[in-house]
Each structure stands twice: as structure tokens, then as C-alpha cells.
Structure 1
Amino acid sequence: MPVSAAPTPAAPLLTRRAMLQVGAALGGGLLVGFVGPGLAAEPEGSTARVSGFAPNAFIRIDPAGKVTLVMPQVEMGQGTYTSISMILAEELDAAWNQVAVEHAPPNDALYANPVFGLQATGNSNSIRAFWMPLRKAGAGTRAILVQAAASGWKVDPASCRTEASEVIHDSSGRRIGYGALTARAAGLKPPADPPLKDPKNFRLIGRSLRRLDTPEKVNGQAKYGIDAMPPGVKFATFAHSPVFGGRVGHVDDSRAKLVPGFRQVVVLDDLVAVVGDHMWAALQGLAALDISWIEGANAGVDTAQVRARLVAASRRVGVNAKNIGDVAKALEHDPIEVTYDVPFLAHAALEPMNCTVHVSGGGCEVWTGIQVVSRAQAIAAKVTGLPLDKVIVHNHLIGGGFGRRLEVDQVEKAVRIAQHVDSPVKVVWSREEDIQHDVYRPAWHDRLSATLKDGRIQGWHHVITGSSVLARWLPPAFVNGQDFDAVDCAQDMPYDIPNFRVDFVREEPPGVPTGFWRGVGPAHNVFVIESFIDELAHKAGADPVQFRLNMLGKAPRLQAALRLAADKSGWGTPLPPGCGRGVAVQPAFTSWIATVAEVAVDGDGNVTLRRMVCVVDTGIAVNPNTIVAQLQGGLVFGLTAALFGEITIDKGRVQQSNFHDYRMLRLNETPPIEVHVIRSGEMPGGIGEAGTTAAFAPLANAIFAATGKRLRRLPIDRDVLAGRKEA
């Protein structure tokens, strides 16, 4: 049951205003959008000719009253299509049963995420970024519909109200549907700053509505990228060099040509693809090839070498992310010093990487599911040499993104293959290629030092060493050697620490590509910080919950979440022998979360997950059901990584290849997960990745409580827990 938390002032999410504007009629209906920060008035090559502005989200109402919402963000299981639709429909007062959604086409000018400045879905910011712009878009649309009705009735607009896609004039009993008003409303201008609903009057926001995408996912009609089947499509799969950065040497395709359904082999400098009439022919044809590879400079890279480089680099002078007080002086006497390590991780999404492409007649058509649809269009244009307006991208539902589909390599490789095929070709990665040629979550090495005084932390120094994903993925955001994602949740810790310093040392692993992984920087930093906080609590002889509460005076929302998590989990009550509880808190993605894990550890080092309790203050809960589901799913994703997740490298090759050696948490291993959503009136926070971030530290702390063994490396090592080797 939701409980109330004392509201605290929240900093505005967007630093530049979004202005509402309205355009001309399109297709006999009303088209309304908003202009986001830094957007051009009219995008070059736009197919929607909108006078005087270029919105980055749209509401389309047809004369029959159907309300079509064009989604600026993509749906990959996080429920964003439903939540975004609820925000728009709430302020529009649209009838929920008349709402339909469409994928946005690639266009940064129209659909740029206000946080990124490009059309991207990630960082758990779909609702955070679009909360106010979408509310204003809906409210402005509603205002001009009221104006259009009032003008026709010759009454004061203030005497009218809206409900369920109708404008109503109570005193005369007249009412008119939105569809009937589109022609008249198209010539009107909305107010510059339309009044928004008081949250107490919300009809949709705050309700646990069923997701719009569920029915088609249940009946099989939902279309993912892998479901694209243009007429005449052929199938292809391929092999990369097993060594990072290796090249093709020689290919003998004589046996492959004997496979029924085989069509052709495409040999590129870095991969070999087989095209067939169906996927089985492509797979069998690929298996029949005799390929020799030129391994290249990375053939000697291994996990031990990568870690040694990180450890050595951590002694270098880093780039300072935050510095408060006199840390050097605070750490002069008896500092507590530790190091933590986390490994490379793969994404292993249920839907493997895939892309269907047809290059023909001076054009290129792409069918895929991707988090960066405008970048997909751009890479296809670059590979083919075509102008952007000759590249059509159809974006679909995504069967697992987790940050992997923030990359465009699936599109780039498919387009390169398709250039050698006369028909549309569906390029599907095998699970082995998907895991062994991922863009991996970076491995990290962390050095931490702290001192205690009167039961509180007096000094804190955290050196974070690892790859900079941001430097590659968004170079303009990588300023003076600082990667804000790498230090996320480390530089903005919620605790009151008078002497505090965080440094970042960039060290790229030789040959290993790194990228965003669900939870990004916080997934690593919250584990390290909250594990070390737990160590310090025990050094101080303090209860881990109370130790944290004593230093959270400036974070009342997090204090409230922690108190409730302790209460709901039965913190402090007796447990059977071999069992323990662990706690962690986080301010990640502007959601305040406290989590308690309860585990049992047997004499052989086997960990049983008994229970997870998670309390969240994420501000206004647009759809509480979605929040609960995302935290449950995120916790399972994070627990999986903590228990089993590790990509290791030998001789330049990834050693894991499928779910037998890169395993998932099974249903019978998954604990009961309780999620408690605190009622809040603050701006919405992010949720999609917050559960993953919350999983690692409470699990490790619970294992310590059960065994007395502190684990500073992931994944959890059962040999250490069983005493078969040292930590």
C-alpha cells in the first residue's frame, strides 16, 4: 500500500523551456506538437510540412475522433508507450479507448530527447525528459479544442470543460467530440504557456492501467524487428573473426554450396555471411564454410591483462569529478582502504541482434528495432552513400535493449551485406555471435579510502578506473577527460561527508569494445559505494540501517524510503543460521530507492535468494503497475549479473558463447520480490534501470551478514564462500 512522504523541492529537469505551438491541418486532422530546446523551425527533408515549427512529439486527431500519439521514445519492454500516452491523454482529456500509438520515424529535429539532444531512448529518462513538454503539448491541444467549440457556440471558453474526447458546455447541455472540431481548431493558436491540470484532478496518471502493447504481445500480432518479412526476403547469418579486430583470411565455400536452400556467400573484410532461402539454410551453410582468419594485434589479450592494466592505471592522477573539504588531511590517520572489481558483462537480450535491409533502385529500406533510430538511418546513409531522404527506417518493438541497441552495428553490418544481395535480406546474429561480439559493460577497478569519526564518515576518496563509453558514444559530452556516466552516483552521493573526493581515470581495454549496459554507471558505482558503506558501518560497530540514516539528513526522501524498507523487510528480527539481510540505498536516475536482500548460504557456498524488498520514491507514479514490474525485472536482471555474470577473454577471444556458460537466473531461483511505491508529488524519476542498479550491493551485504565474508569482486564466488580459496 502506498504511503506518503514529506515533499521536498525538486530541481527542474530541463534547463531550457519547451514552447508549445500548433500547425496546420494534416490529412484532414489536427496536428499539434511542441518545440524542444535547440530545435530547428522546420527540419530539412521533413515529410510533415508544419508551418513555423518542428515539434519533437505529436498528437494527431482525425475527424472520427481517433487520437494517434506518435511516440518520441521506443518501447523495449519498459512500458514507455503506455506511460507517455497516459501523460499526453491526461492533459488532452482524450478518451483512453480512442488512443492509438505509432513509432516515430527517424528525425532528430522532430523527436530529439531533450536530455540527449538526439533521438535516443536510454538512461531511464523517457518520462523524466518528456514529462513537462508532453503535458504542455496535451494541454495546449485541449485549449484550442475548447476555443474552437466555444467559438462555434458563441460562449466563453472558460464556461466549457473537457472529458473523454469531448468539449462540454454544462449550462446549455451541449457537447461535441474532438473529431468534429479538427478543421476549425487547425487555424487556432494555443496559449504560450497553457494551464496544466492540478494533479488532484488527474484521471489517468496514477492509475495502474493495462499496457497498450500487451494484447498484441499475447496474441502474437506484435511486430519486433526480427519479425519483419518484406516480400522476397532472404535470410543471412554471419561469423566475425573470433579475435577482437581480426580480419578474414581465406574462405572455402565448396561444402556450403551443397546445403539445400543455400544462395550465396558474402565475404567482407571483417566478416563472412551466408545467405539462404531460410534461416536453417543460412546457419547450415555458415557451419559448412572453411574460414581462416588473420587474428591481428589483439590475439594476446586476456582477462588478467585487462585487470592488471586497470590496477596500474588506478595509481595515476585522475580527472577530478568532485572535491569537498580537505580530503588529504581527513585521510592522514588510519584510513580504511579497499579495492573493488567488476567484470565485463554482455547484454544477452532475448531477441538477438537483427536487421532486415533492402538496397535497391537508389534507395535503402531498413526494418529493425533500435534505441537510436535516427542514428540507424544515418549509418545506412553513410554505408550506401545515399542522402538521408533515400533511407527509410521502420522501427519496431524491441525484444530486450538493455543499452545494446544504443549501438548501430547491427544496422551497419546488415546494410553492408545487403549491398551484395539482390533481394531484401534479414540478417540475424546467432546467440554465439551475439554474446561473443557484444559491446560490453566495462570492467572497472575502484580504489576507496575513508576515515571514521564519532560513528560517521569523516573523509572519503573514490578513484574509479575504467573505459569511457561516453567518449565514443557522445564525444561532445566528454569534456576535459570527464565522463559523467562513469561517476554517476559516485560524485552525487546522498551522504553528509565533510571531506569528499571522486576521481576518474580513463583506461581503455585493448581491443574490447565497451558500451552502455542496463544501469550504466550507477550499476557499478552503487555496488561499490554501498558495499563500502556497509564495511564502514561494521567498522564503526553500527547497525547498517542506522549508520546510513545518521548521514542522510540532506536526503529526507531517501531516509523515508530506507525506514520503510527496514520496516517491511523485518530488519533486525531473528533469522535462521546461515541467513543474513543486507541493505543499500541509491539516488540513481532521480528515483530514491532503498532495498533489502535476504539470503541463505550453505556450507558449499551456494546462495539461495530468500526475499527482496524494494521501496521507491520515484515522484509522481504515472503508472504504478509499470513501476512495480520494472523494479522486479530490473532486480532479476541485476541479481543474475551479480551471481553469474562475467565475460572472460583468452587469446583475444570471448570464452562464453551461450546461456550454458553465460547463464540466467532461473524461475525457481528467483526470490519473492516486494515493491512498495511511496506516494509523492515530486517530478517523476527514472525506473527502467533502477532495479538493476539496486540489486548488487544488498545481495553482497546480505552474504556478508550470513557468512562474515566480504566480497569485493563480482560475480559472487562460491569457492570463496565455502572457504576453498581466499577472497
Structure 2
Amino acid sequence: MFHGRVVPTFVTRQLPKPSRRQFMFGVSYVGAALLIGCSSSEAPAPAKDADIAQAGAEHPAATPPPPGKPSPFEAYLAVGADGEVTVYSSQFEMGQYSYQGLATLVAEELEVPIERVKVEGRAGNPAWYGNLTMGGALQLTGGSSSIPTSWQRYREAGAVAREMLRQAAAQQWNVPLSEVEARDAAIVHNGSGQRAEYASLLQAAAKLTPPTEVALKSPEHWTQIGKDSTQRVDARDKVSGQQTYTIDVRLPGMLYATVLHSPRFGGKLSSFDATVAKAVPGVVDVVQISRGVAVVANTTWAAIQGRRALKAEWDNAAAETRSSSELFAEFEQLAAQPGSLALQRGDNAAALAASNKQIEAVYRFPFLAHAAMEPLNAVVHREGERLHIYGGLQMPDVVQGTCAQIAGIEPAKVDLHVMKTGGGFGRRATPDSDIFVEATEIAKALNFRAPILLQWTREADMGAGRYRPMHLHKVKVGLDADGKISAWDHSIVGHSIFAGGPFASMMKDGVDPSSIEGVVDSPYAVPSMEVQVQHPASPVPVLWWRSVGHTHTAYVMETLIDEIAEASGQDPVALRLALLKPDARERGVLQLAAGRAGWNEPAKPGIHRGIAVHSSFGSFVATVAEVSKSDSGGIRVERCVVASDCGVVVNPDVVRAQLEGGTGFGLSAFLGERVDLEGGAAKQSNYDGYTVLRMAAMPKIEVHLLKSAASPTGIGECAVPPIGPAVANAIYKATGKRVRDLPFKAAS
């Protein structure tokens, strides 16, 4: 559907033994580099874009397989003549340090110091880079899956390279293979002490038949996995200002563009007058595209000035014209009506009617912008029959297929240049490839006569972007005479991310799974539970936002558990433990966070504690929040203790950073973020109105990692869900007020 071609699917192979795995790899030797790949004797040809300059030259495009031929190379890594290792990443880097994780996996097995590893993003062939956690047919960075999808694949690539280099050395020295070992980017003979750097063995290794079985290192022999690295693979470029992003790409003859979108979501262009805009110095042209009008100029600033001078009329017949308050009023009416059944456990109506006590609550969650530091941008350049696309390619296969159709070429002729990006949080994983579609349409309107760098302003990103959907939860919980939960009636109303789009097949019986995750799969023992969902339509475009549905479902579940604890006279931690199965992994992080926070000890004077625990994307996080209240009633979050179980921790410092960042991200949404609609248009347009967390409001954060031998699970999103309810529960202790309308500043 997205690619215009048949997409092969990865098949996950079973381990014959715990430490061994069979797989076929092909090898080739090109330009004094040993390239490790799958079932191929060819290396990917280098990008042939003579016009790529400056930043563009640093990001070669992946070469798709020629029609009728098998994939030429499964490019996971290359060992250069200088001994430097390049890891080709299937995962998009947007500040979450996926590159660091993949580099560590390869370096561990290849026995190479991380200081000698660099990473490049690759895309354009799902047979090489399909996300294994999602079936393998689509390359996608999301769902906190970078390490889970790479855990076996990249370690195996490093192990194959290691074994072939060992074999080459053993043959060259005429010694048994058992007497040579890989050590510090070289092969060493234990008997004679002979040593050969990898570079000197490359040609010989490339001629060998790759092993069909290879042993991965056992955990007790790991020297890099699970250890704090002193070197980040991209640290030098970042601190020296040499790191390049899409906005830094410079190609000869490049033009710059911005787009004027409808101020109301769903509005259609009726007409426009470009006379004044074209008179702005530097403006080259003004062209209509599918979503608005683009101004093209010699500089981005000239394009922005031209857009401001542009006059346009819009047809709002199909546009959203309601305000956020009107939408919430509609949601509340819908919540009182029957919806699509998402879960039915027991005779909930009877159990609720027979309950001794009931707790009722209504929660409102506003639209949220992703608000990444780098607004959306893309570069499109056609050279002959090939189309080059540069940008934050979170869903590259979709971009490749969509833009190929616009340009009128085969997807195999679209070369994708993966750029690092200043944040994403889900915004760059758009099923309709919005920014790339616009850039391609602009380039096409100009007959592809020049490379186009399309740059959205912050105002465009917030006013015409995609939002975390609005949701309303209406819940009624029944307690029996002993204070135990006997019934749980839960109605959810919110805009659907999946309905009507390319992922509509994920809808089941009218239910968007992203709206109910964290509720229907709650680990708490609730004997009777009914969950109904409704998805009212709106032209407002919605999208996944860091931790998706867990952003609101965890909040509802974890604040209600605290209310139940108070109503039944129980300690919040004790109640949660009583509701969890003995083997539930939530127990470990809950006890760890509570213990490290001193839950059972009196808090310092003026400090109030709250706790929450939640599982998302296969990982488990518990957060204890401590808040203080000023004499004027102001609330400040002073300290957060975060405990996580994400299986094997590949990079502890990266995991800690993600837990800290996720905590701040979720806290920011809880304290002040919201997008309000007025007459169908977004009221907030920049950081002055959309108030993300300031440094001065960031609390002290302590992170504790639970040791685990389980396979690694995701961590990029998992600290976001529990921070809001933990703080809300602490605020109740401080003020006696429940926070049910978010954000907190708007509710206080």
C-alpha cells in the first residue's frame, strides 16, 4: 500500500541453543572495507549525487535493490581500512541515542572500543531494515523499539565480522582457530603473541565463507553492554557545532520555501493573490500545493516575509469551527451514551449496582503539540530520473512510496538521506508524509529545476501540525463492604489516530487501540470491568505523541487507585501490591521506587508524596513525586524518584537520560501544556503561549534501574505516563483537591 512493490517480511529465527543462532550472511570487499551483509556478494553502490555538498555529502543515500534481483547487501556495518567501524542504523536518531545503542551492540561482539565506531542512518529497503518488533515489513522508529528490534540483529552482525576476521588470521598464521581471539580491534594469537589489526585482514576475510552459526558473547563476558560509556558516538560533532541537521543541507542552486496553511483545520484554499508576496525581495515564485500555498525564495527569511504578505481566501465549509470547550461538551454528552465495547469482564452492571460505595470521576485531556526543538523541514532534489529526499525519516518506506507517486517515478528511484533531527516525539512519523509531500509538490510545481528546502516555522508547526488527541474519561468504580474493588465502569471519548488512515486495519470493532491501552490491559485485579469507547470525528489531525494513549490512560488509572486507597483506608503502595499478581514486574519497580524515596518514612516538613506505576512498550516504570506548597498556594515539584525495569540495560547512562527526559516531558504536559481551539483554529502558536517546562521548574530526579536478565524492552517513552499521576496524587496530599482537568495550571 505504501511502497508500490512487494515488501519481504523478516522471519525471526529460533535459537537452537541459548547462546547460538543460525543465520546466513554474505560478505564483500569494496574499497578496502569489509562489509557484513545478508545473502549477498555485492556492496551497496555509493550515492552518485555530484551536487551533494556540505551537510548533504555526509549522508549518503541507501541504494534500493535493482528490480528482479535479490537485496544486494544487508548493510549493518563496515570495517574501514583504517580500522574504523561504521554501523548502518535501521533506527532514526532524534536525540534518543538509538545510534549509541546500536553502536554498543556491534562493538561488543566485534571487540572494538566504542571510540572507534561511528553510525550512519540508512533507509530505503525494509528487507534490510524492517522493524522486527512490528513484523519486519516496514522500517519504522517508534514504539520505543530501537533496541528490541536491534538486539539480535546487530549483535549477530558484529559476531559474524569477528569470526571471519579470526578465521582469516588463523589461516594467515597457520594456527588453530581456537588459539586466536579478537581483542581491542585486532586479532591476537595467544601462543606467539602475533597481532594483526582488522584492516590488515580485510581482504583475506572477505574471501571466506561466512559461518552459518556463531556464538554470541554471554553476559558475564560483556565489556560494553550494561556499562557506562565515556564516549558518545556523536558527542564530538555536537559539542563542536559540526553536527548537521536538515536545515544545514546546502545544494547548488537551492531554493527555500515556506507554506501558508488554512488557519482552520479542514479549510480549503479558495483563491490567493500573490502580487504583494512576489514583490518581496528574494521571492522567486508562489505556487499552490495540496495543503495551501508555498512561497519560494532565495532565502528562508525572504520566503517567510513573502508568506506574510500573501493574501488568501479559504473555504471553511468542511473546516472545524468549534472551540475546545465545545468539543469537551460534546465529549461529555457522548460519554453518557453507549459506545463501542472494548472490554467486558463479569456482570459489571450488577456488580456496580450491588456495590457498597462508588467513586465517580470525569477527566479531560486537551490537545497537545509535540513542540520539538526543530520544526519540520525537508529537502527534495531531483537529478535525472532519481529523486533525493533529505530529512527526519521516521517512516522512510512510506515517504519513499508517497513521494515517488507524486514525482511519477518508481519508489526504487527515490534515494533517502537520513538526517539527524532535533526531537520528534512521534511528530515525524506521519502516515501521509506531510512535510515530504509538500516539499515534493513544491519541487514538482517548479519542474524540479532546483533543490527545495522546505522549512516550517514554529507557528506553522503548532498551528497546522498534528496533536495528541483530546480525550475525556468518565469512570465509576464500585467498592464492596470490605473496601475492595467490585466493579469498574469506564467510558472513553476521544479522537482516533488510526480511523480512516492507512493503519485503519488496526481498529477493532470501532475501537482505536491507542485510546484504551493502559486500561483494558491494566495489571490490577478487577473482577468486573466494562470499557466503552467513542471516537467523534473532527478535521483536526491527530497523531501519536510520546507514549501515545498511555499519556491519559495511566493518569486516570493511577489517580483513581489512590482515591480507592483513601476510600478503603489503605496505603497507596500497599493497595497496588495487593492488586498485582505475585509475578507482576510492576511490583519490582514499585517497591524499588518506594524504598529509595523513603515512602514508609515521614516526609520532610512541607513535602507531600505521591506515587504511580505503569507499564508501556514492554517496560515498567514507577515514580514517586515530592511536591511542596507555598504560602500563596503555589505548587512546586521538588523531587522525583524513578525506578525502571526494561530488561537488559544496554547503555545505563542513556536509559537514565531517557527516564529523566521522559519525566520532564510528562511533567511539562501535566503542569502547563495545551492547545486550545477557538473557532476551529489553534490559539497557541509558539513557546510563549504553549508553555513547555522551564529549567527552573525541573525537579531533582533520581533514577534506579532494576537488574534484569530479560531481553531489552523500550525506554524512550515509558517514564512519561507515571509522572503526571504521581504528581497529582502528591498535590492531593498537599491541597486536598483532585486534579482531573489538565493541565494543572488551568485546573488550579
After TM superposition, the score normalised by the length of structure 2 is 0.88
Q: Is the 8 A contact 2:164 2:208 kept in 1?
A: yes
Measured against aligned partners, the alpha-carbon deviations of 1:446-477 in whole angstroms (never above 9, x if no partner) come to 23233334444343343333233234252343
Measured against aligned partners, the alpha-carbon deviations of 1:60-110 in whole angstroms (never above 9, x if no partner) come to 223443321100001100011011110111122223332221110322221
Question: Aligned partners of 1:713 and 1:378: how far apart in 2?
Answer: 41
Choose 587-596 or 398-407, whichever is displaced more: 587-596
Pick aligned residue for 1:330 from 351, 356, 359: 351
* 3-state SS, counterpart of residue 221 of structure 1: coil
Pick aligned residue for 2:524 from 482, 495, 513: 495
> 5 Å matches for 1:567-586?
567-575=595-603, 579-586=607-614
| Structure 2 match to 1:291 | 312
Q: Is the 8 A contact 2:115 2:233 kept in 1?
A: no
Question: Aligned partners of 2:553 and 2:12: how far apart in 1?
Answer: 26
Instruction: Specify every segment of 5 or more residues in structure 2 that has no aligned partner in the other structure, as ranges.
Output: 1-9, 15-20, 40-61
* 3-state SS, counterpart of residue 550 of structure 1: helix
Pick aligned residue for 2:477 from 443, 450, 455: 450
| Structure 2 match to 1:41 | none
Pick aligned residue for 1:274 from 282, 295, 305: 295
> 5 Å matches for 1:633-644?
633-644=661-672
Deviation at 1:632, TM superposition (A): 1.0
Q: Residues 48 and 270 (structure 1 numbering): CA distance in 2 closer, same or farther, change over 3 Å? A: closer
Measured against aligned partners, the alpha-carbon deviations of 1:239-277 in whole angstroms (never above 9, x if no partner) come to 101111212223223322332222221233531222222
Give the residue type in structure 1 aligned to 2:399: A
> 5 Å matches for 1:23-102?
23-28=26-31, 29-33=33-37, 46-47=64-65, 58-102=76-120
Deviation at 1:286, TM superposition (A): 1.4
The answer to whether 1:714 aligns with 2:735 is no
Q: Residues 34 and 671 (structure 1 numbering): CA distance in 2 closer, same or farther, change over 3 Å? A: farther
Q: Residues 146 and 491 (structure 1 numbering): CA distance in 2 closer, same or farther, change over 3 Å? A: farther
Measured against aligned partners, the alpha-carbon deviations of 1:668-721 in whole angstroms (never above 9, x if no partner) come to 111111111222222212111112222211111111111111111211145x54
* 3-state SS, counterpart of residue 115 of structure 1: helix
Deviation at 1:605, TM superposition (A): 4.8
Q: Residues 164 and 508 (structure 1 numbering): CA distance in 2 closer, same or farther, change over 3 Å? A: farther
Question: Aligned partners of 1:54 and 1:546: how far apart in 2?
Answer: 57
Question: Aligned partners of 1:564 and 1:100: how far apart in 2?
Answer: 36
Question: Aligned partners of 1:626 and 1:671: how far apart in 2?
Answer: 19
Give the residue type in structure 2 aligned to 1:21: M
Q: Is the 8 A contact 2:27 2:37 kept in 1?
A: no
Measured against aligned partners, the alpha-carbon deviations of 1:586-620 in whole angstroms (never above 9, x if no partner) come to 12122221101111234655321111111112221
Q: Residues 662 and 121 (structure 1 numbering): CA distance in 2 closer, same or farther, change over 3 Å? A: same
Measured against aligned partners, the alpha-carbon deviations of 1:354-374 in whole angstroms (never above 9, x if no partner) come to 112224544322221221122
> 5 Å matches for 1:85-484?
85-116=103-134, 117-209=137-229, 210-334=231-355, 335-359=358-382, 361-407=384-430, 408-421=433-446, 422-453=449-480, 454-471=482-499, 472-484=501-513
Question: Aligned partners of 2:602 and 2:590: how far apart in 1?
Answer: 19
Q: Residues 569 and 153 (structure 1 numbering): CA distance in 2 closer, same or farther, change over 3 Å? A: same
Q: Is the 8 A contact 1:237 1:427 kept in 2?
A: yes
Question: Aligned partners of 1:674 and 1:343: how far apart in 2?
Answer: 29
Number of positions where the alignment pairs a residue of Structure 1 with one of Structure 2:
699
* 3-state SS, counterpart of residue 375 of structure 2: coil
Q: Is the 8 A contact 1:341 1:714 kept in 2?
A: yes
Question: Aligned partners of 1:138 and 1:49: how far apart in 2?
Answer: 29
* 3-state SS, counterpart of residue 23 of structure 2: strand
Q: Is the 8 A contact 2:91 2:140 kept in 1?
A: yes
Deviation at 1:584, TM superposition (A): 0.1
Deviation at 1:522, TM superposition (A): 1.4
Give the residue type in structure 2 aligned to 1:241: S
Q: Residues 130 and 481 (structure 1 numbering): CA distance in 2 closer, same or farther, change over 3 Å? A: farther
The answer to whether 1:560 aligns with 2:594 is no
Deviation at 1:119, TM superposition (A): 0.8
Q: Is the 8 A contact 1:341 1:445 kept in 2?
A: yes
Give the residue type in structure 1 aligned to 2:443: A
The answer to whether 1:546 aligns with 2:550 is no
Deviation at 1:53, TM superposition (A): 6.1
* 3-state SS, counterpart of residue 487 of structure 2: strand
The answer to whether 1:20 aligns with 2:23 is yes
Question: Aligned partners of 1:285 and 1:272: how far apart in 2?
Answer: 11
| Structure 1 match to 2:717 | 689
Question: Aligned partners of 1:315 and 1:513: how far apart in 2?
Answer: 25
Deviation at 1:404, TM superposition (A): 0.2
Pick aligned residue for 2:732 from 680, 704, 715: 704
Give the residue type in structure 1 aligned to 2:235: T
Question: Aligned partners of 1:269 and 1:370: how far apart in 2?
Answer: 21
Question: Aligned partners of 2:464 and 2:451: how far apart in 1?
Answer: 24
* 3-state SS, counterpart of residue 659 of structure 2: helix
Question: Aligned partners of 2:38 and 2:106: how far apart in 1?
Answer: 12
Give the residue type in structure 2 aligned to 1:614: V
Pick aligned residue for 2:553 from 478, 501, 525: 525
Q: Is the 8 A contact 1:301 1:510 kept in 2?
A: no
Q: Is the 8 A contact 2:64 2:124 kept in 1?
A: no
| Structure 1 match to 2:619 | 591
Q: Is the 8 A contact 1:64 1:180 kept in 2?
A: no
Question: Aligned partners of 2:459 and 2:660: how far apart in 1?
Answer: 28
Identity %: 38
Q: Is the 8 A contact 1:54 1:109 kept in 2?
A: no
| Structure 1 match to 2:17 | none
Q: Is the 8 A contact 1:496 1:554 kept in 2?
A: no
Measured against aligned partners, the alpha-carbon deviations of 1:339-398 in whole angstroms (never above 9, x if no partner) come to 222111111111011112224544322221221122222221121111123222211001
Q: Is the 8 A contact 2:27 2:210 kept in 1?
A: no
Choose 230-239 or 95-104, whichever is displaced more: 95-104
| Structure 2 match to 1:4 | none
Give the residue type in structure 2 aligned to 1:218: V
* 3-state SS, counterpart of residue 474 of structure 2: strand
Question: Aligned partners of 1:336 and 1:425: how far apart in 2?
Answer: 57
| Structure 2 match to 1:39 | none
Q: Residues 183 and 598 (structure 1 numbering): CA distance in 2 closer, same or farther, change over 3 Å? A: same
Q: Residues 49 and 80 (structure 1 numbering): CA distance in 2 closer, same or farther, change over 3 Å? A: farther
Q: Is the 8 A contact 1:57 1:72 kept in 2?
A: no
Choose 376-385 or 22-31, whichever is displaced more: 22-31
Measured against aligned partners, the alpha-carbon deviations of 1:99-150 in whole angstroms (never above 9, x if no partner) come to 2211103222211111233111011111112212222232233233323333
The answer to whether 1:657 aligns with 2:657 is no
Pick aligned residue for 1:609 from 632, 637, 643: 637
Choose 178-187 or 516-525, whichever is displaced more: 178-187
* 3-state SS, counterpart of residue 406 of structure 1: coil
Give RMSD over aligned pairs. 2.6
Instruction: Specify every segment of 5 or more residues in structure 1 that has no aligned partner in the other structure, as ranges.
Output: 1-12, 36-43, 722-727
Measured against aligned partners, the alpha-carbon deviations of 1:564-597 in whole angstroms (never above 9, x if no partner) come to 2122223254457764211000121222211011
Question: Aligned partners of 2:707 and 2:452: how far apart in 1?
Answer: 50
* 3-state SS, counterpart of residue 250 of structure 2: coil
